Amino acid sequence: MSALKGACIFGQSGGPTSVINASAYGVIHTALQNPNITRVLGAEHGIKGVLNDRLFDMGQEDPKELELLKYTPSSALGSCRYKMKDPDVDDTDYKRILEIFKKYDVRYFFYNGGNDSMDTCNKISKYMQKVGYECCVMGVPKTIDNDLFGTDHCPGFASAAKYIATSCMEVYQDARVYDTGMVCIIEIMGRHAGWLAGAAGLATAYGAGPDLIYLPEVDFDMDQFLADVDRIYKEKGNCMVAVSEGIHYADGTFVSEAKTSATDGFGHAQLGGLASLLANVVKERTGAKVRGIELSLLQRCGAHLASETDIEESYMSGKAAVENAVAGITDKMVGFERSYEGGKYVCKTKLLPLTDVANTEKKVPLEWINAAHNGVEKPFIDYVLPLIQGEPALPKEDSLPRFAKLKKVLAK
């Protein structure tokens, strides 16, 4: 297919990360320079911005501010959690998207997100094919959860992992200063996959991390958990535990479920409060002093601890999406392939069919979880370690972060 000429739309969707804007910069920066892309439009709040005709003209932004996106956490254009209906059931949204695409002569659509967002991206791609509207649709991966199918890892994961590992190492110092002992429970994001909770194992590998780590890939047993904690607490006088928010009993019930019944826009249960719940159980059962710490939003927006590798790879995934699209490729998501050259970690992009990645979750391999189901094995550490390397030169103003300030001029 020869290169299409027309405008592009870029949108961000789902939970943000520390480096999702680095991918945005990869797309926007590359697209602005490409002669086949006549105009670069940024959708406000992802696909909702397309539906509502709220598109920013990215060409009007100051290039220096755009470059600061590399170090600005969270979705700069705004995100959404919007589940697209099956077009065979209700094609209202799809007709509206087509209308907007035609209005702005959009020939390139880049969508930056995780599982659910790739589902959106896939549905739009297939609809455009079906109605015969020529448009290259590319998914740009993003998720701290690291659970996208077919890619070695996901942009955003490594920076969250580095935040988690570093914070665990610091809390480890603090949570054992008194001679009175303490059980400290750290709650980490990850609904169905334990990649982030497992990253706490990096801290342990470097001598200052959790004694116990519980992942959602295996069933949680409260009695076994209490026995584990009790044993370590008696042995060491302290115990540090990392738990994934998504840990569940054998019947599938989330351990945290009793705490909240709220749901997010995609219909998932909104988790949280698990750390204090477990801390209370431990306190009741063992009498130990306890502290529950929820890393909450901090772990996904802690750009000051971002991995330089992650920033560069995020940029690279955005850039690759544009370069492949203008080469005529469509209906794909950019993924990563890892290799080692002379022992040195190397990451290259590859392309995955959107159909394959939409709604498929990649979990931590069971052989990377220890036999007792309370920690991770060395292959997990070897997998994560190269991803968190490198300290970015963070732009600062009076020793505080200097984030990108966008004008967000609406396209006419």
Is the Cβ of residue 308 or residue 323 nearer to a second copy in the bound state? Answer: 308
Interface with a second copy (CB under 8 A), residue total 65
What count of other Cβ atoms lies within 10 Å of the Cβ of residue 235? 10
Select the residue interacting with a second copy from 122, 244, 307, 314 (CB under 8 A). 307
> Catalytic annotation on 145?
yes
Separation of alpha carbons 12 and 45, rounded Å: 7
What count of other Cβ atoms lies within 10 Å of the Cβ of residue 268? 13
337 closest CA partner among 317, 364, 365: 317
CA distances from 405 to 68, 199, 256, 400, 402 (A): 8, 32, 38, 15, 9
Binding region for a second copy (CB under 8 A) out of 69-77, 148-156, 248-256, 341-349 = 69-77
Is the Cβ of residue 337 or residue 391 nearer to a second copy in the bound state? Answer: 391
Binding region for a second copy (CB under 8 A) out of 131-139, 236-244, 295-303, 317-325 = 295-303
Of the residues 93, 145, 147, 228, only one is catalytic, namely 145
304 touches a second copy (CB under 8 A): yes
Select the residue interacting with a second copy from 11, 26, 42, 78 (CB under 8 A). 78
Select the residue interacting with a second copy from 106, 154, 160, 303 (CB under 8 A). 303
80 touches a second copy (CB under 8 A): yes
Binding region for a second copy (CB under 8 A) out of 83-91, 179-187, 249-257, 334-342 = 179-187
Residues 109-138 binding a second copy (CB under 8 A) are none
Q: What is the DSSP letter of 4?
A: P
169 touches a second copy (CB under 8 A): yes
Structure tokens at 129: 């094919």
Separation of alpha carbons 155 and 316, rounded Å: 10
Binding region for a second copy (CB under 8 A) out of 141-149, 242-250, 294-302, 324-332 = 294-302
Pairs from 347-350 (Cβ < 8 Å, separation ≥ 24): 347/152, 347/309, 347/313, 347/316, 349/316, 349/317, 349/320, 350/151
- Binding mask 212-251 toward a second copy (x if CB under 8 A, else -) reads ----------------------------------------
Q: What is the DSSP letter of 398?
A: T
Q: What DSSP letter does each residue of 39-88 carry, written as one string?
A: EEEEETTTHHHHHTT-EEEGGGS-HHHHHHGGG--S-TT-----PPPPTT
Q: What is the DSSP letter of 312?
A: H
Residues that bind a second copy (CB under 8 A): 12, 16, 44-45, 48, 72-76, 78-81, 162, 165-167, 169-171, 173-175, 177-180, 184, 202-203, 206-208, 265, 272-273, 276, 291, 293-298, 300-305, 307, 385, 388-391, 396-401, 403, 405
Active site amino acids: 145
